[in-house]
Chains A and B, each alone.
Chain A
Amino acid sequence: QKEVEQNSGPLSVPEGAIASLNCTYSDRGSQSFFWYRQYSGKSPELIMFIYSNGDKEDGRFTAQLNKASQYVSLLIRDSQPSDSATYLCAVQLPMEYGNKLVFGAGTILRVKS
């Protein structure tokens, strides 16, 4: 069983703070990693992906990957109330498993104004 683990939260941060969301995965052969945002009652929306060790920045979002530790994180700078949502970490399995995405259960983020 390929697993992706996330703290379910809720993670509460004040407006303007940095929100840090974490994810660990079990399959060392995984190559690509995704962060999706899901508002209540809506479908998941891709916000970041990363496949190399290190950091990848896109606006207020930074994804961090450490393959040796099998750890992925998402930082949201200058958090806004509109960032309040569930954040899903997804890991793409290797080719022999059909390159399928395995999702974590998600972390609920609440940004308080």
Chain B
Amino acid sequence: NAGVTQTPKFRILKIGQSMTLQCTQDMNHNYMYWYRQDPGMGLKLIYYSVGAGITDKGEVPNGYNVSRSTTEDFPLRLELAAPSQTSVYFCASRKTGGTYGYTFGSGTRLTVV
């Protein structure tokens, strides 16, 4: 049982490049989330999904896109990378219903130069 797996762990992008951050979970969780965390700041929600085929915007969606074709995978796409997207990105998942905390992946540290 691997939990939530994120790849890559580190990445340096040049301004204007694109990339996909991968997230997969093996706990059969319906709910999945993408957050970013800037230094000294809390976690800001980018996008979330309540199940395969369903996604919705969070607090800071601009510059990002997501898809959810399977229960397991929830990739985050960055188009035309900008320095403002330099951050640590966390993927998380949780069970449906009730009071359940999130299980977080180990994070992706992205630098845009």
Contact = CB atoms under 8 A, between A and B. Distances in A.
B99 A92 contact: yes
B41 interface: yes
A31 B48 CA distance: 20
Interface in A10-48: 31-32, 34, 36, 42-46
Contacts of B35: 103
Given A88-B43, A98-B56, A105-B41, A49 B99 contact: yes
Contacts of B45: 100-102
A88 B42 contact: yes
B105 A43 contact: yes
Nearest to B45: A100
Interface residues of A, number: 25
A34 B101 CA distance: 7
Interface in A31-79: 31-32, 34, 36, 42-46, 49, 51
A104 B37 CA distance: 11
B110 interface: no
Interface of B is mostly: strand
A43 B42 contact: no
Interface string B97-113: 00101111111000000
Given A43-B104, A43-B105, A44-B90, A98 B43 contact: no
A44 B104 contact: yes
Interface string A85-108: 000101010000011111111100
B100 to A, nearest CB: 8
Contacts of A45: 104
Interface string B44-88: 110010100000101000000000000000000000000000000
Interface of B: 31, 33, 35, 40-45, 48, 50, 56, 58, 90, 99, 101-107
